[in-house]
Amino acid sequence: MNTCSITPQSLGFTVIFNPRQIYLSTFFVLFLQDGSKQRQARKKTVSFSSMPSDRKMNSTAACMAFMMEGCEMKKVRSNSRMYNRYFLLDPDMRWLRWEPSKKDSEKAKLEIKSIKEVRLGKKTPVLRSNGLSDQFPDECAFSIIYGDNYESLDLVASTADVVSTWVMGLRYLVSYGRHMVGVVEPSQPSVRTSWIGSVFELADPERQGHIDLFRATQIIKGLNPGMRESRIELKFKELQKAKDCYGEGIDLDTFVEAYCELCTRPEIFFLLVQFSSNKEYLDSKDLMLFVEVEQGVEGVTEEMCREIVHKYEPSAEGRNNGYLSIDGFTHYLLSSECHIFDPQHKHVCQDMTQPLSHYYINSSHNASLLEDHYWGSSDLSSYVRALRMGCRSLEVVVWDGADCEPVVYVDVINQYAFESSEYPLILCLVTHCSVPQQRVMAQHLKKILGDKLHVDPPNMEDHYLPSPEKLKGKILIKGKSLPSDSQDSEGEKSHSDFETSKREQKHWEICSFNEVDANRFANEFPEDFVSYNKRFLSRVYPTPMRIDASNMNPQDFWKCGCQIVAMNYQTPGLMMDLNLGWFRQNGNCGYVLRPAIMREEVSYFSANARDSLPGVSAQLLHIKVISGQNLPKPRGSAAKGDVVEPYIYVEIHGIPADCAEQRTKTVSQNGDNPIFDESFEFQINLPELAALRFVVLDDDYIGDEFIGQYTIPFECLLPGYRHVPLQSLTGEFLPNTTLFVHVAITNRRGGGKAHKRGLSVRKGRKAREYTSTKTTGIKVVDELFRASTQPLREATDLRENVQNAMVSFKELCGLTPAANMKQCILTVSSWLMNSERAQRVTVDLSGAYPTMEAHGPVPELLRKVLTAYDTMIQTSRTLIESADGVYSKLTQAQRAGLDFHEDLHRIGAREGLKGRKLQKAMESYAWNITVLKVCTYTLCYALRHVYTRALFSTSRGITEHGNL
């Protein structure tokens, strides 16, 4: 008996596993295939749409057949050289061979039973080497880990589909062996086959044994609403022709085969094969692993997973037994539970008690302005639409009317003001009427809006506007100053510099900027513009030169802190996509809290920064675009008939340092389920101001046409395997049209641009970049910040050492830095369970820090993994035990620095600084305070990450899953 054990001393038990016993219960229905008899094949349907020569895979056995036929792949050597070899699986499924080779043919082979693991992507030292990193995409590489010393056979295929076929087939063989492929007892049909058969029986109540083509088509269409009827009919006709029964009714076998070929998404079947303990379905424990480990959901229980099965599994047998078949798994992944948007953000989830100037405010420009500049009842629907979309700032144009009555309609605004959001609505009055009619207009506003109108005078002792929470249900009026000959002096005042505004502007006054002027300020005075917007509201409106009502890019002004960027809601496109997508993140209430670095009184931020922010460790966003579903032909397009040849742009919008885009390849003539399988990586320096946008286009020689898009704030992204709902050009969600992606977010390692260095770079202490303070030119201030240099370096070392140790451990486990600790534990567990010889590893949870120790001889790779684990725990321990002292030094320096804030201008002037030198001193001071704040925050974040991800997850992974 091969056993492996882990002894959690604190729990007082030893868990002993026998790998053979674990799978015994799933084997009893399987038997050795008898070549002299025809057996019912297991229906494990896969349809790889882009296999060589349009080859279709429709069962696990078909994957094996492809591997037996063989294909050419590149074999990668440790010296980073690649050799073309022809790889094939022996007919007896015991050996993997390759040719030609200088070796003896008996040496150019690998026994299947010696395989420990099959890794997808560049997850071995050989494939991660710098010499190969840019020569082939991640999705075209895989590695076979074999032998007691865990050697690797590293391969590169021509397409991701070929990789998927080999990985799926090899993993199946490793789990079950050659005797179990595609074979099941006739009396034990699969859960899926039984369910499809029951669906057919319901459609054939008279038990005729067949149904007509139309009925069969409608059934499959009903089960998969996004599928085209023409595609379903064509599949039935193809199968009937192959059976020489064209034109007859659809029998059970044909119906089952058609359903399996049409409705099995290979990329989802591949996931099921990875996580299923019996490769036919996911039980509640399998599903629990997937939801917790891959989807990143905390606190998952078996009961929660049973509820998922009950909700999404179509077969009664599956629901009764707690099994999630491929169809149930597909339904679950397509459900709102697995959408990319975090449901927490569908409700107001941000602090709404801060001053109004601390929020971005959803704003409309000229929503109902007609050509003749008069409002008409036929155009009021535009205001209703804007309000229902979450708009909280409307431009209201007022003109002189007949009988001394100004032309202004506020009834509709009063009716719909708070239908979609209870937070304050700002009416920006653009008055083109005489003073007498302005007074009449004011009376109308008071009468119609009543108690909703905010009329309380500002508190002169305050320095900021009230909060959205305090102004709930209120309508605020923004108006320009009255003419100079008017007896009333209330209204908006104008200030072209920032220093004057700082001295004279009242906190309730607002400045409106033409986009041209706003752009000039953003480019010439980026720091001043950000600082100005910490206290005052600013509104940016489109230049009158935009006669086509096109939109400016709101990100150009959000990065400067401008709260109100007025958009032409009637004009769809990229800019409106960004605006509407951005304001979804706080329950679509029309208000989004700005980043802290733009709100805090003493902080440094430059809107045009093209590098990382002071003291901030950037994050890496990993996006794998896997597939698309039911992509429609662009509206109005006549080229190529119904054929769609899609490709996808993945875009990051944010501060200049973050803006980037990458695109996938074009998939030829496939809009139903195009497989992209391409991975991208983006560096995000200011996550709070970043948005991710997917754009799907139809590749055409005349001009690429828009199919759909989806824009989501970075803060709303959920990790794991997610579906992305696509929207049309005008913002409507396209029915059943999605993208399937995988999302992971990690901290950047060691500096450098993501697209240059990627995940393979990890800087040591000698090459580490430390964020330093800047000299202000004020002696007493500079001495204070100079004393903080050492704790800043200590905090950076503590954080980076832990991060590097974690990444090293993950990589030795054959995983990416985006992996979590539970995935690592499960990987090491699988190695032990698949070992041919007895190996024992003990985990001790009795102390403050877990330890993992091997008993007896273990392979070199496992020894390295255990060493890396120990290093990770020790660096975590150092962080935990040193954090308090470093934190205390940083906060003390921060408090001492802030003591200079009120008198800094006077102290600098006393030491002879003036003009630009004094301004530079103020900026350097703000930079230093920001560095201290950010470093303190990231130290706390690292500490929390260690507790929740490293130590806690290690313990939970062992005690909950018991798989080591």
For residue 640 the two structure tokens come to 């190529």
Separation between Cα atoms, residue 486 and residue 611, nearest integer Å: 51
Q: What is the pLDDT of residue 364?
A: 93
Whether 299 shows a pLDDT value over 80: the answer reads yes
Pairing assessment for the beta strands 115-120 and 141-146 based on DSSP bridges: antiparallel
β-pairing, 660-663 with 591-593? Answer: unpaired
> Which residue is associated with the tokens 């996509």?
577
Least confident of 407-416, 783-792, 946-955: 946-955
Q: How many CB atoms are located within 10 Å of the residue 888 CB?
A: 11
The amino acid at 179: H
Q: Tokens 């005797």 appear where?
A: 179
Q: Write the CA distances from 591 to 135, 237, 341, 389, integer angstroms.
A: 46, 55, 18, 12
Tens digit of each residue's pLDDT (9 = 90 or more) over 237-251:
999 988 888 778 999
pLDDT tens digits, 725-771: 999 998 999 999 999 999 998 875 433 333 333 333 344 555 677 88
User: Which domains does the chain possess?
Assistant: 60-176 (2.30.29.30), 201-338 (1.10.238.10), 356-481+495-598 (3.20.20.190), 619-635+643-746 (2.60.40.150), 779-960 (1.20.1050)
* Lowest mean pLDDT segment, chosen from 147-151, 561-565, 918-922: 147-151
In the prediction, which pLDDT does 605 show? Answer: 87
Q: Residue 321: which pLDDT band, with cuts at 50, 70 and 90?
A: very high
Return the pLDDT at 521.
92
Provide the pLDDT confidence category of residue 104 given band limits of 50, 70 and 90: low
Mean pLDDT of the region 309-325: 94
Q: Look at residue 357 and tell me whether its pLDDT is greater than 90.
A: yes
Rounded-to-integer distance, Cα 32 and Cα 42, Å: 14
Lowest mean pLDDT among 75-84, 182-191, 257-266, 895-904: 182-191
Which of 665 and 55 is assigned the larger pLDDT? 665
Tokens in use for 260?
A: 């399996």
Residue 219 Cα to chain centre, angstroms: 35
CA-closest candidate to residue 430, choices 484, 364, 380:
364
Range in 253-267, 565-579, 747-761, 866-880 with the lowest mean pLDDT: 747-761
User: Does position 936 have pLDDT exceeding 60, yes or no?
Assistant: yes
Q: How far apart are CA 81 and CA 95, in angstroms?
A: 24
pLDDT, position 782:
93
Percent of the chain's residues with pLDDT above 90: 46
pLDDT digits (tens, 9 = 90+) for 3-39: 333 322 322 222 222 332 222 222 222 222 222 223 2
Distance CA 111, CA 97 (A): 9
- According to the model, what pLDDT value does residue 833 have? 74
In this predicted model, which residue has the larger pLDDT, 280 or 455?
455
φ, ψ for residue 44, nearest 5 deg: -115, 80
Dihedral sign (CA 117, 120, 124, 127): positive
The pLDDT tens digits of the residues spanning 166-225 come to 988 888 888 766 545 544 333 456 788 899 999 999 999 989 999 999 999 999 999 999
Q: Which has the closest alpha carbon to 288: 308, 312, 311, 313? A: 308
pLDDT tens track for 331-345? 999 999 999 999 999
The C-alpha atoms of residue 964 and residue 957 are separated, in whole angstroms, by 9
Quick one: 533 exposed, middle or buried, by C-beta within 10 A (0-12, 13-18, 19+)? buried
Question: How far, in Å, CA of 597 to CA of 614, rounded?
Answer: 10
- Give me the helices (H) in 645-759, please: 754-757
656: buried, middle or exposed (CB in 10 Å: 19+, 13-18, 0-12)? middle
Residues 281, 593: Cα–Cα separation, whole Å: 44
Question: Any bridge partners for residue 652, and if so which?
Answer: 660, 692
Helices (H), 660-817: 754-757, 779-786, 789-812
Report pLDDT for 23. 26
**How far apart are the C-alpha atoms of 720 and 710, rounded to whole Å?**
18
Tokens of 95: 């050996």
Q: Tokens at residue 655, please?
A: 């501060």
Query: Which amino acid type is present at position 757?
Result: R
Largest pairwise CA distance in the chain: 106
pLDDT at 185: 37
The DSSP secondary-structure symbol of 946 reads I
> What is the mean predicted confidence (pLDDT) over 394-421?
84
Q: What pLDDT, on the 0 to 100 scale, is given for residue 738? A: 97
**Paired sense of beta strands 359-364 and 564-567, if any:** parallel
Q: Which residues of 279-309 are buried (b: 16+ CB within 10 A; e: fewer)?
A: bbbbbbebbbbbbbbbbebeebeeeebbebb
Show Cβ contacts of residue 269 under 8 Å, excluding neighbours closer than 6 positions.
44, 45, 46, 168, 326
Q: Is the pLDDT of residue 636 over 70?
A: no
Q: Give DSSP secondary structure letters for 290-317.
A: IIIIIS--SS--HHHHHHHHHHH---HH
Identity of the amino acid at 724: V
Q: Which residue has the tokens 């990450």?
A: 945
Q: How far lies 685's CA from each of 583, 597, 612, 695, 943, in Å? A: 20, 12, 6, 22, 20
Mean pLDDT of the chain: 82
CA distance 160 to 140: 5
- The 10 Å Cβ neighbour count of residue 652 is 20
What are the tokens at 892? 């003390």
Residues forming beta bridges with residue 726, ordered by sequence position = none
Q: Which parts of 594-642 are beta strand (E)?
A: 619-629
